[in-house]
Structure 1
Amino acid sequence: MGKAKVRKGMPSVALTKAEFVERFRARFFDPVFAENAKEIEALLPQAWTSYHDYHKSPRTRKAGKGFADPAYDLSVDWLAAHQSIRAAERQHRDKALPSRILIINGSMRSDQTCPGEMSKSWRLTQMARRIVEAQRGFEAEVLDLSRLASEYGRVIYPCKACVSTAMPLCHWPCSCYPNHAIGQVNDWMNEIYPLWVRAHGIMIVTPVNWYHVPAGLKAMMDRLVCADGGNPDPTSTHGKDAEAAKALELKGWPYPRHLAGRVFSVIVHGDASGTENLRRNLSDWLTDMGLIPAGTKALLDRYVGYYRDYATSHDDLDQDRDFQAEVRNAAEALIAAVTLKRKGKLGQVDAGLKNPRPK
């Protein structure tokens, strides 16, 4: 196959200096900053330089041994995330360490912000957590995605779809962020990637929001694309060189499955519609990445207070003892599957087959 063309032609998003200054000042709208107006104005020249000269990764060091180009300057942010993932991989493989279950609360509702009340998903994650922690040799970690809507500076930035340009351009872990030039910092994914890598089992608990997952959960899912075929060596594409990435893919890309072999459970709840489709979509997404379902009892879609008032939804959950028992069963099923997997008794029957159309 010949050389692939890199397509260009979208309008520029560059700000004028006046536009940049206006947006910079808007960050200090609160009157509490008024007494520091001079100091804020004094930062404008440096802030403009960082933006205008595109200081995406202002601090770098040489990649060193183990990379295709040891002399390439890699972001210290990316290198730190890379090292965290490698440490998590070692923990995952260490049979002397406890089995670890990552329980993900997908709801954005929290009593720490506008809704003023905890979510049912949070309650269900705690039910599952208690089952896991009561099991000898197991540990539970809870990833509460509602913090995206309630905690200062907590953010998951959107996926830029580098993979659609060429798979090797999608680095593992993601190298798109942080982008200091345009203020895209504090990306949570650098902490989330090691949680997934370290885990032996994953449980996702989520409500249905307009027939789909909540925005925070979807953001995390999109950013996990690099875990499925992502390139662990950014020096091989000279950073974000689209032409180099296309050439590398066309030579034949191995599509490494960085999370394959972990087992999973999915619990979806709703009040009117969409639970079955969402449970199926999440299961398909996880199996596409090479994860293994922990059995039929670990995959739930249920309605709580079907077409009843939102105001009494927690009361409806209190009364639904069967659903509560099913959630505990899902946790038990996940524990059993992880136990078998770590003993080498639960495998992927199709693991040895070559995929004729990897993607």
Structure 2
Amino acid sequence: MSREAYRARFMARYADPAFRVEESALARLEAIAWDAYSEGRKSPMTAKAGEGYADPDYALSDEWRENAARIDAAQRRQREAGTPSRVLVIVASSRNDYTCPGEMSKSFRLAKLCERELTDAGIEADLLDLSRLAAEPDLHIHPCKGCVSTAMPLCHWPCSCYPNHSLGQVNDWMGEIYERFAACHGAIFVTPVYWYQVSSPLKLMMDRLVCADGGNPDPSSTHGKHADEAKALELEGWDYPKHLAGRAYGAIVHGDVAGIEGTRRALSDWLDWMGWIEAGATARLDRMIGYYEPYATSHDTLDADAPLQQEVANVARAVINAVRALRAGQLHRADEGIQPARAK
């Protein structure tokens, strides 16, 4: 970017006239930020990787190391026999009562039905409300940069693309989200259909979870983002580790005109690929809420549709059964132990 374009974009955050009293302070901060951008200081806080890494002398990001440690701790707790069972309930709508519409989403209401079933069954319910992206200042799921398409080992687990301080790409929510996925024994996804697809917050999260499916847990092995080193590692033979495999899932997709079946299939296909275990046919749900009816009365339609509410509760019950069976060693994927002919 040119200096002028960078300054204009930086200052746009402070367009409110109330900031004018700090014009000189803002100019100094902008100059520091420009220097970080122009010098490419992506990870200004680092320490030597140390033992256990391919290159112990590599300057490893402090923030990445902290994220990785939390995720590892969550994975260990998740595998301990005595820990409470936990199910992550993902609310994928962009809408809530703090966004422009000022009204909670139907996805949120359906997720709360699931939460109630889980809690009543003695399961810890962890509600992940992705609509917070649209309602909270500087909370982000930054887009996937497609490192995996260069070479799988270039995609680190957890993602090392963010934070990128030189670009101001900070406050990335995925560090916390990875930890919550690592801690769960199952998940229920609740999404509306946006133009024949899952919602945009959910798609951002799905793309950033690519590192959980084959990602490299050692950034020092590629010295950060050195494409040639990552390509050499993959060509030597990469095992594409599935870091979150073996969890149970249910999927609830709702719409009002079209797209529910295709969206639910895409969601299920993604989770199957990740090595997750579907909690049975009852855990797959795609339904219209008010088919071709006015949007204005859709909440009333949901209130009146008792069978749909029962079906949503049944998704949660199926996931509860699956999680219990998984933890007792009684539920396995039918293809467990079969090596794919073409791993990727």
SS of residue in 2 equivalent to 1:146: helix
Q: Offset of 1:122 from its aligned partner? A: 0.2
Query: How far is 1:45 from its partner?
Result: 2.5
**Aligned CA-pair RMSD:** 0.7
The answer to whether the aligner puts 1:230 opposite 2:233 as a matched pair is no
Q: Which residue in 1 is equivalent to 2:96?
A: 110
- Secondary structure of 1:102's counterpart equals strand
- How many Å separate the matches in 1 of 2:109 and 2:324? 25
Q: Residue 268 of structure 2 corresponds to which residue in structure 1?
A: 283
Which has the higher mean CA deviation after the structures are superposed, 338-347 or 46-55?
46-55
The structural deviation recorded for 1:241 is 0.2
Instruction: For 1:56 and 1:111, locate their aligned partners in 2 and report how far apart those are by CA, in whole Å.
Output: 36
Secondary structure of the structure 2 residue equivalent to 1:267: strand
| Aligned position for 2:279 | 294
Task: Give 1:51-90 correspondences, 5 Å limit.
Answer: 51-90=37-76
Aligned partner of 2:257 in structure 1 is 272
Identify which of 160, 168, 173 aligns with 1:175. 160
- Say which of 321, 324, 335 aligns to 1:336: 321
Query: Matched residues in 2 for 1:197 and 1:167: separation?
Result: 20
- 1:44 Cα shift? 2.8
Note the 1:157-236 alignment, pairs <5 A: 157-236=142-221
1:322 matched to 2:311: no
State the alpha-carbon separation in 1 of the partners of residues 92 and 239 from structure 2.
Answer: 31
Q: Any idea what SS the aligned residue of 1:184 has?
A: coil
Inter-partner Cα distance in structure 1 for 2:340 and 2:32: 51
Inter-partner Cα distance in structure 2 for 1:287 and 1:44 = 46
Deviations 1:180-224 (CA, angstroms, capped at 9, x unpaired) = 001000000000001111100110001001100111100000000
* Structure 1 residue 239 corresponds to structure 2 residue 214: no
Q: Unaligned stretches of 5+ in structure 2?
A: none
Q: Distance in 2 between matches of 1:279 and 1:264?
A: 12
Task: Please state if 1:16 is matched with 2:15.
Answer: no
Runs of 4+ off more than 6 Å: none
Q: TM-score, normalised by structure 2?
A: 0.99
Map of 1:121 onto structure 2: 107
Structure 1 or 2: larger helix share?
2
TM-score (norm. length: structure 1): 0.95
Structure 1: 5+ residue stretches without partners: 1-14
Letter in structure 2 aligned against 1:178: P
2:129 counterpart of 1:150: no
Whether 2:19 is the aligned partner of 1:33: answer yes
Tell me whether 336-345 or 87-96 shows the greater mean CA deviation.
Answer: 87-96
Name the CA distance, whole Å, in 1 between partners of 2:200 and 2:333. 31
Q: Offset at 1:349?
A: 2.2
Deviations for 1:261-295, whole angstroms, at most 9, x for unmatched residues?
Answer: 00000000000001011111100000000000000
SS of corresponding position for 2:41: coil
* CA deviations over 1:52-89 (Å, ceiling 9, x no partner): 10110011011112111111111111111100110110
Structure 1 residue aligned with 2:116: 130
Corresponding position of 1:354: 339
Secondary structure of the corresponding residue to residue 191 of structure 1: helix
Deviation for aligned residue 1:156: 0.4
Shift of 1:27: 1.8
